Amino acid sequence: MDDEDQLVASAFSDDRGAVKRQLTKWSKPPMPKHIQEAKHRYAEEMTRLFRGSHSSSEVDFMFEGSTGFQENVWSVLEKIPYGRVTTYGLIAKVINSGPRAVGQAVGSNPCPLFIPCHRVVPSDMTVGNYSMMGKRPEDNGDVKRALLEREGIRFQGDKIPLAALWTPH
């Protein structure tokens, strides 16, 4: 959080180092102070989101040190409806870019959960990858899957039903 109560970065992980790296990466030094304030409304919101609730309030973001391309991608992520998913390739199509570049930008999301990057999956509708600052993406697939299931998505084997696919516009 910055001094004007705008969200600069968020992180959650069983790896404390990863959390710290994520937060410092997107914060201008000195690091914002409010990180430990668990009672802050954003902290409570984050817990709700992790448990699979709908977002309950609008969030003011403050992006520092990001590129226009990244913010462009993130703005698409914010439009993905609750309980639905889209793919890297479809996002690439609407912004006239390539799927791998989109993957890079999605992976550099400064505010996971608030910006729902867990709702982006590969075109084969498997869960795909998820990571946070150095954790190997493939080690966090179960986290991503759990988040989607809490939003009501029922996997068929390792695949997400096509009905859950949302096409960005």
Partner DNA sequence: TAGCAGATACCTT
Partner DNA sequence: AAGGTATCTGCTA
**Segment lying near DNA (by CB under 7 A), choices 28-36, 37-45, 118-126, 147-155:** 118-126
Is 111 considered catalytic here? no
110 scored as a contact of DNA (CB under 7 A): no
Cα separation, 147 vs 17, whole angstroms: 22
Q: In this structure, which amino acid lies at residue 141? A: G
User: What dihedral do alpha carbons 63, 112, 115, 25 form, nearest 10°?
Assistant: 10
145 scored as a contact of DNA (CB under 7 A): no
52 scored as a contact of DNA (CB under 7 A): no
134 scored as a contact of DNA (CB under 7 A): no
Q: State in angstroms the smallest separation of the CB of 106 from DNA.
A: 5
C-alpha separations of 53 from 6, 7, 11, 85, 114 in Å: 21, 19, 17, 16, 11
100 scored as a contact of DNA (CB under 7 A): yes
Which of 62, 89, 94, 150 binds DNA (CB under 7 A)? It is 89
84 CB contacts (<8 Å, ≥6 apart)? 119, 164, 165, 166
105 scored as a contact of DNA (CB under 7 A): yes
69 scored as a contact of DNA (CB under 7 A): yes
Residue in the block written with tokens 């982006």: 120
Phi, psi angles (nearest 5°) of residue 86? -135, 180
Which helix (H) or strand (E) covers residue 150, if one does?
A: helix 141-150
22 scored as a contact of DNA (CB under 7 A): no
**Total site size for DNA, rule CB under 7 A:** 34
Chain residues binding DNA by CB under 7 A are 67-70, 87-90, 92, 97-107, 109, 112, 117-118, 120, 122-124, 128-132, 137
Q: Which residues are catalytic?
A: 117
